Amino acid sequence: MGAAGPSNDVLDEIFNRTINSRSIFLNRDVLRNDYIPDHILFRDDQISQFGSILAPILRGNKPSNIFLYGKTGTGKTVVARYVTKKLYERILKLNLNTKFLYINTRLASTQYKMLVELGAQLDISLPFTGLSLSEAASRIFDKMKRDGINTIIILDEIDYIVKNYDDNILYEFTRVNNELLNGNFISIIGISNDLKFKEYLDPRVLSGLSEEEMVFPPYTVDELEAILTDRIKTAFRPGVVSESAVKLCASLAASEHGDARRAVDLLRVAGELAEREGSDVVDTDHITKASRSIERDRTYEVIRSLPLHGKLILAAVLAAVLAAPEDINTGRLYSNYTSMARSLGVEPLTQRRISGILSELDVLGVVNAPVVSNGRFGRSKRVKLVVPREVVSRALQEDELISSILK
Ligand SMILES: Nc1ncnc2c1ncn2[C@@H]1O[C@H](COP(=O)(O)OP(=O)(O)O)[C@@H](O)[C@H]1O
Ligand SMILES: [Mg+2]
């Protein structure tokens, strides 16, 4: 056999297998994170409550601002998108000049990018730099006024933007009044994965935003199993996913809190692993392997995509763990953080903001931070790192600035 022989054979085999075998998937898109299922199970109460709060739009009246709370994977995004999609169908039929805008603030990553994205959804292009936040916001308001439109703005994962920046821009949006908009309105739907998030909001912003509140409880194991079973029908060919695999998937996804996102992600990754192995079933082994691979990737990605101060705080946690693993109190943490920030020529944030970012890291499952009230530190609080040190260190090293102080 020639030198190129074996590798060609391997490739041929892979390609032939793909061509000759049927995919175990019927439609893998229904396992994507942004897929809106036709049936949303166990959320009838939230759907009807949310629908009733928004229904006045159909008569041209301003609905209350609403806050949706619940841990990750409790169906907040999917319910909000489902209800607003249905409402929008009615709005089109009625020929109303009303628009829904949707932003995930974590994905937008900065307040300014969030405004650029809002602008884009209204067909105005804001320059990528050069405007102050309030100038950018006024251009958005001007456009709404010129077009005479009512807008409902969904700010998903709103806790991210507030904890990592401040709430001034939200204040502008809650404060904007009839006069400024020429009789039109803006309603805000805020969605937060952190139930404690309210403590980080200025009381003026909080009262403006949470005229109505809805809570999404975690799913039970049985509910997760039903959600998975329903999704499997459209995602996989019949009989591909074993019953024990579904059970394992549901119980892993319920181990911290009943998290449907984790359940669906596990199923997707397990399916991909099975397909790559050429297996025509998805079994418990695939779920177990998927779980390990998701955890590793998730922690790494979460840390790598933190904003600068989030990374600095984590670097400070890491330094504290290495110095005295049993005793990371927030005082030590704050002084580590402050000196690290200064050594990079970065102005340190206030303790209140740091406390907000720590709580965000807690929600993301990177640290265990004590519950604090009013966004302030208590003296005796302890912080714990709950992911492997080497993953933290490896992810932080990827940031040039941070890696210079880790040495
Ligand atoms: N009640 C439900 N019925 C069917 N699928 C659901 C339900 N709740 C959540 N899901 C699915 O779980 C995943 C995560 O839901 P999502 O709404 O994004 O959670 P959250 O926004 O609360 O973090 C999505 O893929 C969604 O399709
Ligand atoms: Mg969500």
pLDDT tens-place string over residues 65-104: 999 999 999 999 999 999 999 999 999 999 999 999 999 9
**CA 254 to centroid of ligand 1, rounded, Å:** 14
Report in angstroms the alpha-carbon separations of 10 from 7, 16, 405: 5, 10, 45
Higher pLDDT, 383 or 338: 338
Examine the pLDDT at 373 and tell me if it is beyond 50. no
pLDDT tens-place string over residues 102-116: 999 999 988 999 999
pLDDT tens-place string over residues 126-149: 998 889 999 999 999 999 999 999
- Ligand 1, CB within 6 Å, residue ranges: 33, 35, 37, 40-43, 70, 72-78, 227, 260-261, 264
- Closest-lying ligand 1 atom to the alpha carbon of residue 72: 23
The CATH fold of domain 23-33+219-301: Helicase, Ruva Protein; domain 3 (1.10.8)
**Tokens standing for residue 79:** 């319910």
Give the C-alpha separation, 168 to 201, whole Å.
10
**Tokens standing for residue 26:** 């019927």
The pick from 33, 107, 232, 261 for probing ligand 1's pocket by mutation, whose C-beta has the most ligand atoms within 8 angstroms, reads 261
Number of the ligand closest to the Cα of 157: 2
| Domain boundaries, given as residue ranges, for the chain | 23-33+219-301, 44-216, 306-406
Residue 77 marked as a ligand binder: yes
What's the chain's average pLDDT?
Answer: 89
Shared fold status for 23-33+219-301 and 44-216? no
CATH number belonging to domain 306-406: 1.10.10.10
Number of the ligand closest to the Cα of 83: 1
The enclosing H or E element of 87 equals: helix 76-93
Three-state DSSP state, 99 = strand
**Tokens standing for residue 159:** 């806790």
CATH tag for 44-216 (out of 1.10.3470.10, 3.40.50.300, 3.30.70.3000, 3.10.310.10):
3.40.50.300
